[in-house]
Every structure is written in C-alpha cells, then in structure tokens.
C-alpha cells in the first residue's frame, strides 16, 4: 500500500532488482563491512589506473582535479553505493580520465585538431522531458547536421594505429553498457531510449572536465551538486569544444547539432565558446515534467545506490530545482547582452501534434532550407519510433507529494509567456 507520507520512497521500492544483482550487492556489503571500501574512489588510484591503461601521463589543464576530488568524496560519503554501483562509477570515471589522456595526446601530436572551426552550432535546450531528445534525433536526420553519437562520447579518440574494426568494437562497447543498464533496471527502457548510435547529450562531453550535471543524474551527490552550482563552467565548455574539434578532424563536419537541458544554466559560457551558436528552446508544462523527470532520476540512482533520498530527488527535479534551471535561461535571454536573434522557441504540444510542420518552422532561423529529402528522412524516423514502443512510462504528479496549486503559481508567468497548456489538472 502506498504511503501518504513518503510517496517517492514507495515508488523507489517498486523498482525490483534482479535476484542475481541482490546477491551480488549483498556479498559486496558483507565484504566491505570486514575489509573497508571494496572499490576505491581514491583520486590517486584513479589517475594511476588511467595512466597505466593508456601508457599516457599528461591529463592537460589542472582544473579537473578539484571537481574530481569533490565528486569522489561525495560519491564515497553520500551516494550509499552498492557493489555494482561502485563498479559502474569507477568504470565511468576511468573512461573519462582515459579519454582525457588520449585527447591531450592527440592535440599535442596533431596541431591541426585545434585549428578546426566549429561554425554556427545548433544547441537544443529545454527542461528535461520537454521534447529535446526527439527533436535532437529528428534534426539529426538532416545530412548537413551532425550530432555526436553516444559511442563517440564514450570513445572519442580513435588511436593512430587503430585496427580496421576499431569503430565497430567501440560501438559494441558502448552498446554493452546501455544494455546492461536496462538489465539492472528494466523499467528504464520505458523512460529514455539509449543506444550506441543514438545522439547523446552534451553533458557526456562536459563530463570530461568533471564539471557536469551528468554526475547528478547518475548518482546521489549533494555536496558535489552544491559545489557545481557555483563553479566556473568555462573549463566544461573548453573541453566540450576540444572534443568536437577532435571528432570533426576525424570525420569532417558541416555543422554540429547539440543538446542538453543543462545548457540553460550556463548560456553565458556557451556563447563565450560559441558566439555564433543558434539555440532552440523547447517548452512544456513544468508540472507534468516533474513527475517524468523524478521517475527517470530515481531509476538512474537506483542502478548505483543501495538507497535514494526522496527529498534530494525532489530538490533536484521538482519545484525550486526545476525553476532554477528554467529561469536561469530566461533571465539571461532577457538581458541586454543576450543575442536575441540566436533563439527560437517551440512548444512540446506543437511538436507532438505536428512534428514535421513544427520543425520546418525552425529552418529559416537556422539558415537552412527544409528540403523534401530531409522531410522524408524525418518522417521515416518517426514511423519507426511509435510512442511507448518499449512500454509505457507511468508517472504521476501526485506521486511527488507536492502541492499542485503552489507549483502552478511558481510557473504561471512562464506558461503565459510562451502559451504553454497545462497537462496536469
């Protein structure tokens, strides 16, 4: 029976873990209780392991060390990691550090990488669950636009002596990760489509600076979140650009298509690195978004933690947490320094009702023609992706235990400004 006092805690309990995972985590608890931390998050251990795996030692700029230290302390002290969670997190961190080593080495060996120009990139921003992912994937069907794929973010640096099948092996490695996530929490497949060849969010690129909301989505790390909220994000956008330059040097690109809700918190840094950027912002009823976002976040945390604090989940993606992301973007857009002609807005309701017509309306602002070939490619993608094909993502605002009238008041000006219909009554 669902508890009235703590509805999210009851929802977390509803995520069943496979029997093999319960046994593994139980063994991990037993071993850790007698021998201390079973999987090390020590920064020196991570750096040494990454250097040993790659044969490289130059991590580049030192600005990654403070956030990495804050993050690893937060993971150890606050995330209540399971054995499986600890293994996944250490693997995530090693992958990022190894990529960083390879990126620095590639740029040192080949100066032409740093000379690559990133011209008028397109960024999709908006609250989580507001249509950013489907818009990203549909626009990526335009051959003039290139979205970084998930496998490329996982393995961005192709070695100079790579075997002929290196790319296929890199794709398979990434696919193995996403398949495993769905085995850990089967319900995740109904919430967010993942795959090696699917466009990824920019937080996977900025994670290489260890200044990224990617870590907030995967782990319960409140002290790291507090540090990140006031951190200088310029290093995140510097490495973001460096990775794009590397990918573009490896495979020539006309124009980048990028996406992340977290860009809303850092638009000044984004335009500092990409002054000719174009930004598309999606808009949806924030009250509806809350339930969907919290449901997704709890699934991700549940993969790695023995428990998950319901209040921290709500603070991250409900009420004030959601409003902070949204109004950071709107406040910037309302300043005199904002490049107002760089922004376009679309509503989720319009995108769902008439996806191709809504997207066609964006093209003049992007300086592109909406051709019949592009329209056909997008139509084929939509036909192959019926909604709920992996099962229905079931979530309700009432599960959050929040006051509907209070949340409506919080966002009333926003809904009126962009004509956003309410989805929750």
Which residues sit opposite 278 in a β-bridge?
Answer: 122
- Is residue 3's pLDDT more than 70? no
pTM over 0.75: yes
Query: Counting Cβ atoms within 10 Å, is residue 414 exposed (0-12), middle (13-18) or buried (19+)?
Result: middle
**Sign of the CA dihedral 118, 257, 153, 165?**
negative
Give the residue with greater pLDDT, 420 vs 397: 420
Q: Name the token pair of 233.
A: 């994000």
Among 352, 357, 381, residue whose Cα is nearest residue 370:
357
Give residue 65's pLDDT.
98
Mean pLDDT of the chain: 89
The per-residue pLDDT for range 367-400, each reduced to its tens digit, is 999 999 999 999 999 999 866 544 444 556 776 7
Among 170, 167, 166, residue whose Cα is nearest residue 154:
170
Angle at 264 between CA 258 and CA 270, to 5 degrees: 60
- Are 101 and 59 in contact by the 8 Å Cβ rule? The answer is yes
Question: E strand or H helix at 126, and its extent?
Answer: strand 122-126
Kindly provide the b/e burial profile for residues 222-235, where b requires at least 16 CB atoms within 10 angstroms of the residue's own CB. Answer: bebbebbeebebeb
Give the residue with greater pLDDT, 141 vs 195: 141
Among 116, 88, 351, 143, residue whose Cα is nearest residue 243:
116
Ordered structural domains, the chain, with CATH: 7-158+166-418 (3.40.50.300)
Coil, strand or helix at 370: coil
Residues 6+ apart with CB under 8 A from 327: 414
Coil, strand or helix at 220: coil
Between the CA of residue 265 and those of 145, 249, 282, what are the distances in Å? 24, 29, 15
Query: Counting Cβ atoms within 10 Å, is residue 423 exposed (0-12), middle (13-18) or buried (19+)?
Result: middle
- Are 302 and 12 in contact by the 8 Å Cβ rule? The answer is yes
The per-residue pLDDT for range 12-60, each reduced to its tens digit, is 555 677 888 888 888 888 887 655 568 889 999 999 999 999 999 999 9
The per-residue pLDDT for range 150-173, each reduced to its tens digit, is 999 999 999 888 888 999 999 999
Give residue 381's pLDDT.
95
Residue 327: phi, psi to the nearest 5? -75, -20
Question: E strand or H helix at 345, and its extent?
Answer: strand 343-347
Q: β-pairing, 257-259 with 343-347? A: unpaired
Residue 280: phi, psi to the nearest 5? -110, 120
Mean pLDDT lowest among 79-83, 193-197, 332-336: 193-197
- Are 180 and 91 in contact by the 8 Å Cβ rule? The answer is no
The per-residue pLDDT for range 221-267, each reduced to its tens digit, is 999 999 999 999 999 999 999 999 999 999 999 999 999 999 999 99
Coil, strand or helix at 257: strand
Residue 130: phi, psi to the nearest 5? -110, 15
Give residue 229's pLDDT.
93
Give residue 160's pLDDT.
81
Q: Name the token pair of 163.
A: 């075997």
Residues 6+ apart with CB under 8 A from 112: 249
Give residue 15's pLDDT.
63
What is the share, in percent, of the chain residues with pLDDT greater than 90? 66
Query: Counting Cβ atoms within 10 Å, is residue 152 exposed (0-12), middle (13-18) or buried (19+)?
Result: buried
- Are 252 and 126 in contact by the 8 Å Cβ rule? The answer is no
What is the share, in percent, of the chain residues with pLDDT greater than 70? 89
């Amino acid at each position: 029976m669902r508890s009235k006092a703590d509805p999210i805690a009851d929802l977390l309990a509803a995520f069943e873990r496979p029997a093999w995972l319960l046994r593994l985590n139980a063994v991990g608890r037993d071993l850790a209780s007698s021998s201390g931390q079973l999987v090390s998050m020590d920064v020196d251990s991570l750096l040494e392991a990454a250097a040993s795996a790659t044969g490289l030692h130059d991590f580049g700029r030192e600005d990654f060390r403070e956030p990495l230290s804050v993050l690893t302390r937060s993971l150890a002290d606050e995330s209540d990691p399971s054995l499986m969670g600890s293994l996944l997190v250490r693997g995530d961190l090693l992958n990022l550090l190894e990529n960083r080593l390879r990126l620095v080495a590639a740029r040192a060996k080949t100066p032409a990488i740093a000379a690559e120009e990133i011209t008028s990139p397109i960024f999709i921003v908006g609250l989580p669950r507001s249509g950013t992912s489907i818009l990203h994937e549909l626009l990526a069907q335009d051959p003039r636009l290139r979205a970084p794929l998930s496998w490329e973010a996982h393995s961005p640096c192709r070695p100079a002596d790579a075997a002929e099948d290196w790319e296929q092996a890199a794709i398979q490695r990434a696919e193995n990760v996403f398949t495993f996530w769905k085995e850990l929490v089967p319900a995740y497949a109904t919430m967010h489509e993942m795959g090696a060849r699917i466009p990824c969010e920019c937080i996977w690129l900025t994670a290489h600076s260890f200044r990224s909301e990617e870590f907030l989505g995967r782990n319960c790390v409140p002290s790291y979140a507090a540090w990140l909220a006031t951190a200088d994000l310029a290093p995140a956008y510097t490495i973001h650009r460096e990775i794009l330059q590397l990918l573009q040097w490896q495979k020539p690109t006309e124009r980048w298509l990028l996406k992340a809700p977290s860009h809303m918190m850092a638009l000044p840094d984004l335009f500092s690195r990409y002054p000719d950027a174009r930004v598309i912002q999606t808009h949806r009823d924030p009250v509806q978004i809350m339930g969907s976002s919290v449901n997704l976040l709890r699934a991700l945390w549940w993969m790695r933690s023995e428990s998950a604090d319901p209040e921290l989940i709500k603070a991250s993606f409900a009420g004030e947490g959601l409003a902070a992301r949204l109004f950071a973007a709107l406040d910037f857009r309302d300043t005199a320094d904002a490049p107002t002609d760089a922004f376009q807005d679309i509503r989720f309701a319009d995108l769902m009702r008439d996806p191709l017509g809504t997207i066609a309306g964006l093209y003049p602002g992007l300086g592109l023609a909406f051709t019949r070939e592009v329209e056909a490619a997008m139509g084929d993608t939509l036909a192959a992706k019926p909604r709920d094909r992996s099962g229905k993502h079931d979530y309700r605002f009432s599960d959050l235990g929040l006051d509907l009238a209070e949340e409506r008041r919080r966002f009333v000006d926003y809904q009126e400004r962009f004509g956003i219909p309410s989805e929750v009554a």
